[in-house]
Amino acid sequence: MQTLTTAEEKRAVELHQRAIVIDGLNASLMDEDYFKKMQQGGVTAINYTVGMDQNMSETVKRIAQMYRLIELSKTATLIETTADIRRARKEGKAGIILGFQNVDPLEGNLGLLSVYHRLGVRIIQLTYHYKNICGDGCNEPTNSGLSLFGRDLIRMMNEQGIVADLAHVGDRTEREAIEASKHPMIASHSNAYARVPTHQNKQDDMIQALAKKGGVIGITAFPRMLEPDPTLDTLLDHVEHVIRLVGVDHVGIGTDFAEGWADSPSHRKRLLEIDGKIYDYPQGIDSVTKFSNITRGLVGRGYSDSDIEKIMGGNFLRVFEQVWG
pLDDT tens for each residue of 57-103: 999 999 999 999 999 999 999 999 999 999 999 999 999 999 999 99
pLDDT digits (tens, 9 = 90+) for 116-160: 999 999 999 999 999 999 999 998 988 899 999 999 999 999 999
Q: Environment class of residue 95 by beta-carbon count within 10 Å: exposed (0-12), middle (13-18) or buried (19+)?
A: buried
Half-sphere exposure of 93 (CA within 13 A, CB side): 19
Average pLDDT of span 287-307: 98
The answer to whether 193 and 223 are in contact (CB under 8 A) is no
Supply the DSSP string of 25-49, one letter for each residue. Answer: EE-PPPSHHHHHHHHHTT--EEEEE
What amino acid occupies position 54?
A: Q
Note the pLDDT of residue 266: 67
Per-domain residue ranges of the chain:
6-324
Fold of 6-324: TIM Barrel (3.20.20)
Note the pLDDT of residue 100: 98
Per DSSP, helices labelled H in 41-131 are 56-72, 82-91, 112-118
Q: How far apart are CA 166 and CA 178, in angstroms?
A: 9
Looking at per-residue pLDDT, the higher value among 272 and 41 belongs to 41
Note the pLDDT of residue 262: 63
Average pLDDT of span 262-276: 69
Note the pLDDT of residue 239: 98
Q: How far apart are CA 312 and CA 43, in angstroms?
A: 9
pLDDT digits (tens, 9 = 90+) for 156-202: 999 999 999 999 999 999 999 999 999 999 999 999 999 999 989 99
Task: Work out the percent of the chain whose per-residue pLDDT is above 70.
Answer: 96
Note the pLDDT of residue 200: 92
Average pLDDT of span 280-299: 96
Closest among 250, 184, 252 to 219, alpha carbons compared: 252
Has residue 203 got a pLDDT over 80? Answer: yes
Has residue 269 got a pLDDT over 70? Answer: no
Note the pLDDT of residue 214: 98
Has residue 278 got a pLDDT over 90? Answer: no
Note the pLDDT of residue 314: 98
The answer to whether 324 and 81 are in contact (CB under 8 A) is yes
Burial per residue of 162-190, b for 16 or more beta-carbon CB atoms within 10 angstroms, e otherwise: bbbbbbbbbbebbbbbbebbebbbbbbbb
**Angle, helices 292-300/232-246, rounded to nearest 10 degrees:** 60
Note the pLDDT of residue 227: 86
**Angle, helices 82-91/315-324, rounded to nearest 10 degrees:** 140
Average pLDDT of span 313-325: 97
DSSP letter, residue 98: E
Q: What size, in residues, is the chain? A: 325
Q: How far apart are CA 36 and CA 56, in angstroms?
A: 30
Average pLDDT of span 30-58: 97
Residues β-bridged to residue 252: 218
Kindly give the pairing relationship between strand 273-274 and strand 45-51.
Answer: unpaired
Average pLDDT score, the chain: 95
Has residue 14 got a pLDDT over 90? Answer: yes
Question: Nearest 5 degrees, angle CA 293-CA 227-CA 223?
Answer: 65
